[in-house]
Structure 1
């Protein structure tokens, strides 16, 4: 119960930030949102209907679909997320009178960053704001069409309708806004503490591994490979390091084996000892293993 309360509090915060981004930065320049809320915002621009209530009404048939075809937990999360977002969207409409930023590109950047943070919080809490997500999960379950594909196709329809009723310029700015929001969501989901996954193929694997453990204080994994041309057995080192440790690691590799083959990749959502759990020094680890 306590875990669910915390999860829904995070969902509420995420919905609040998403709603603030729309009312503070979207509305003044007739920017658009995606999904069902995008349809509601178009109607708001044309008729003045409150987008939160309109979005909630549009979601009612989708709630029935979620109840009938999806799990009960998904249904509950969708209803809670949609209601919270709808209340936040209409409840924060007052900020429109206090925010006036003539620069449209600046509004795209600020709105995308704030909306991306809100979306990341909603996704982190494993919740949903309903809408097209319900159709997306349904098509994925029964037709093996990805959620992102369904969302993309629906958003394309929203954009085409917006071009007809609002003109091309707001739609083009909205596309920039979508891109910034997408990037911001991914950034806040992964976090700012970047990690690098390094794969090292060397004939001096033992020495490099020892120096990494002693000097960088990172554990390593030795993989057993084979040269494709020579068919000789090879030891391959796999190690994940923080960005601040990468330069030291490269120095070690160059000093021990300048001919080593190295690949470096971004590593996301790293968890385990030394990252999300306390790191043991080598002597303590050896003692615990005995």
Structure 2
């Protein structure tokens, strides 16, 4: 019985990892389409490190005689090179798993940015629809990467680093702060009108990314079960501390165990799968949006 349970838990972990990487690829596709179809054709600029890569590409194109590829935009490659120093932060201060997934995100993103064709003419004439559609697509794509345990590098790495150390700073907020500097440079060097629309685009990305990632939405979960091993399995699978105490079922006067755990909203599905696997008859109820004081590990 124990071997069978371990087999299903291993199978569950493998399925979870596969789904995470699938979401990362889908997020990279959304982000890359947003950039190549809605940003570059209207000469807008992204924020963060990728925006810096776009600025470098524009400066190289306008003020140097360095031959640049004409078949694709080299901003993705420059972005990959600029992220190399930030990989140390991901590896040293966050986690090896996050580092691996972030590397995967960046490699897939760089390839997609290089192969997805850029329209010769903007798909939408007006700037505002480009900001709205492109911003929602990019923000949702980046949010999926974060929910899956990785990110597109750059400012997101710094955001996740600060997320582990404070409850007040979200990935979206630090992105806005860094983007303010990037767009000031854009306005000074290039075009003020383009910089203003780029700010709108970045704001929509940050808002959508925070809503998709929802790393600040906490859930208080109570699981009432007869399984005496459930609390230990929840600790192993979720990496969360579980508080439990004995209880009694009033209807049949049966012995129960009441388990309490605080998780982030995106861990709910994982908790339900674990509970259903170990005790399908367990009673689970949750309270959303609680405030947590004291030590509580912020996860991706």
TM range (shorter): 0.5 to 0.7
Provide the residue aligned with 1:155 in structure 2. Answer: 179
**Structural mapping, 1:138-217, within 5 Å:** 138-141=161-164, 146-148=169-171, 149-185=173-209
User: Any conservation in 2 of the 1:56–1:86 contact (CA below 8 Å)?
Assistant: yes
Provide the residue aligned with 1:65 in structure 2. Answer: 89
Distance 2:109 2:75 in 1: 10
1:138 to 1:106, Cα distance in 2 relative to 1, 3 A? closer
Deviation per CA, 1:214-259: give whole Å up to 9, x if none.
xxxxxxxxxxxxxxxxxxxxxxxxxxxxxxxxxxxxxxxxxxxxxx
Report the TM-score, using the length of structure 1 for normalisation. 0.59
Provide the residue aligned with 1:119 in structure 2. Answer: 142
Distance 1:189 1:69 in 2: 21
Q: For structure 2, which runs of at least 5 residues remain unmatched after alignment?
A: 1-13, 62-67, 69-73, 215-264, 274-280, 282-300
Provide the residue aligned with 1:43 in structure 2. Answer: 56
Provide the residue aligned with 2:298 in structure 1. Answer: none
Distance 1:151 1:26 in 2: 18
Give the C-alpha shift of residue 270 in structure 1.
Answer: 12
In the alignment, structure 1 residue 31 sits paired with structure 2 residue 24: no
**SS across alignment from 1:95:** coil
1:142 to 1:177, Cα distance in 2 relative to 1, 3 A? closer
> Which range is displaced more, 77-86 or 23-32?
77-86
**Count of residues paired in the alignment:** 197
User: Any conservation in 1 of the 2:41–2:120 contact (CA below 8 Å)?
Assistant: no
1:115 to 1:150, Cα distance in 2 relative to 1, 3 A? closer
**SS across alignment from 2:111:** helix
Give the superposed CA RMSD.
3.0
User: Any conservation in 2 of the 1:133–1:147 contact (CA below 8 Å)?
Assistant: no
Larger C-alpha radius of gyration, 1 or 2? Answer: 1
User: Any conservation in 2 of the 1:67–1:75 contact (CA below 8 Å)?
Assistant: yes
User: Any conservation in 1 of the 2:99–2:150 contact (CA below 8 Å)?
Assistant: no
In the alignment, structure 1 residue 96 sits paired with structure 2 residue 119: yes
Give the C-alpha shift of residue 102 in structure 1.
Answer: 2.0
